[in-house]
Amino acid sequence: MTEFWRLPATEIAALIREKRTSATEVAKDALARLDAANPAINAVVDHRPEETLAEAARVDAAIARGEDAGPMAGVPITIKVNVDQKGWATTNGLRIQKDHVATADNPVVANLRRAGAVILGRTNTPAFSLRWFCRNGLHGHTKNPWDPRITPGGSSGGAAAATAAGIGAMGHGTDIGGSIRYPAYACGVHGLRPTLGRIPAINLSFADRHIGGQLMAVSGPIARTIGDVKLSFEAMCARDVREPWWVDAPMQGPPAPKRAALCVKPEGMPTAPAVEAALRDAAKRLEAAGWTVEEVPLPPLRGPAKIQAMLWLAESRRGLNKAFAQEDDPDANFVYAQMEALCPEPDLFGFMDGLQKRATFLREWMLFFERYPVAISPVSAELPFRDQSDVESPESFSRIIDAQLTQVGLPLMGLPGLVVTTGLVGRVPVGVQLLAGRYREDLLLEAGAVIEAAGVPATPIDPATA
């Protein structure tokens, strides 16, 4: 019997469209893999096999009628529990939202369905999707399939862990401060944070978010191959005017020189030797493929990171802090307290000044990309953190947030970032982050494919045990 769960999404979709297998057979295989691998990692926290098989049957029926089943025909995927999926609770890892059942699909879910994807289940996130770790009081603790002693990342830790373990060919994630990019890094897969407005994604079962969330939060794909990232990304981008920020931008931009900037220690970032080695290796891979790589400083990240935190916390201070008290999740309480201590509450003028500076920072970055269409930066200053180390002490939290500068600094400008896994340090994944200008995900994917072709960790993997 073919182990379809080992195959990339591009190959699965081709097999189904060409009638060399059926979506139903692929779905049965995917569900069996979920049953086998998920108990060790707790990545998928809610699933209904009968619904998965019904979705697969609809794909098969469309193909039997001679219809186009979509670019992701029959591809098994997972959806993060913080977005609306009709008939399922949008828990966001919270006990207080365990009965908040969506009556309509978030546009990103609707687009994936229209593309023919088959949903396997819902993946875990920390409470409030707040951390780079993945534990909550409702769904429990997600483990990294490479090594349960290290974080699977967050907040899309369930999505990345599931994808690395072969539970679905693609995991949907969200990112406001690294929540796609960091889990991809920690789990040895690839993750794309798209440009603001690229992918329509809005939870219609809640009120619209505060301006910070609107400007910085995006949905995107986590996958084991760059080809699967591209396939999923393009499917997610389809038109949906329910999302006011959606932009009908072309998938392919104008030609750009194969020139990349390498920055190992942005603004003095304390980059570890193993991370630096991965960055220089990625640069050499590009050079071997005909790219020019220059080591130069990046535009500001620390200034944007401070404004990002201010805008992020403004949403909490405006009323979400009452939900923190209701949920009373120890991890979330600790992390929120540390973030508040690092980011004093602004007055109205401070808030307005932050939004004004956003334009200045974005201009600096876009001018930089005129010279260097792609930049190579650390995903984190460190290898993936020891699990739960952010809540050990204020000092540990402070070190971790400083190491995550490139995760927190980027979203303010709404810029895209692609994390490409490149190797292992023992059993611990490592990789790099590629950056480009607005709506230039095509450049990220082009560079990412070159880096991937020179070698990446073999996935999917069987989850390790402690």
pLDDT 10s digits, 109-121: 999 999 999 999 9
* Domain span at 433: 9-453
Report yes or no on 464 lying in a domain: no
**pLDDT at position 312:** 85
Longest dimension (CA), the chain: 64
Q: Say whether pLDDT at 466 is over 70.
A: no
Report yes or no on 223 lying in a domain: yes
- How far, in whole angstroms, is CA 292 from its chain's centroid? 28
Report yes or no on 196 lying in a domain: yes
- How far, in whole angstroms, is CA 368 from its chain's centroid? 25
* Inter-residue contact 107 to 202 (CB < 8 Å): yes
Report yes or no on 4 lying in a domain: no
Give the model's confidence band at 465: pLDDT under 50 very low, under 70 low, under 90 confident, else very high. confident
Q: The domain that contains 128 carries what CATH number?
A: 3.90.1300.10
Q: Say whether pLDDT at 317 is over 80.
A: no
Q: What does the alpha-carbon distance between residue 414 and residue 90 come to, in Å, rounded to a whole number?
A: 25
Report yes or no on 458 lying in a domain: no
What is the gyration radius of the CA atoms in the chain, in angstroms?
20
Active site residues: 80, 155, 179
* Inter-residue contact 185 to 429 (CB < 8 Å): yes
Q: Helix, strand or coil for residue 383?
A: coil
pLDDT tens digits, one per residue of 335-394:
999 998 988 888 899 999 999 999 999 999 999 999 999 999 999 999 999 999 999 999
**Strands 170-175 and 190-193, bridge-based pairing:** unpaired
Report yes or no on 367 lying in a domain: yes
Report yes or no on 282 lying in a domain: yes
Q: What is the mean pLDDT of residues 392-403?
A: 97
Q: How many domains would you assign to the chain?
A: 1
Going by C-alpha positions, the residue among 451, 404, 435 that lies closest to residue 299 is 435
Q: What does the alpha-carbon distance between residue 238 and residue 139 come to, in Å, rounded to a whole number?
A: 31
Report yes or no on 462 lying in a domain: no
pTM, two decimals, is: 0.98
Q: What does the alpha-carbon distance between residue 192 and residue 175 come to, in Å, rounded to a whole number?
A: 9
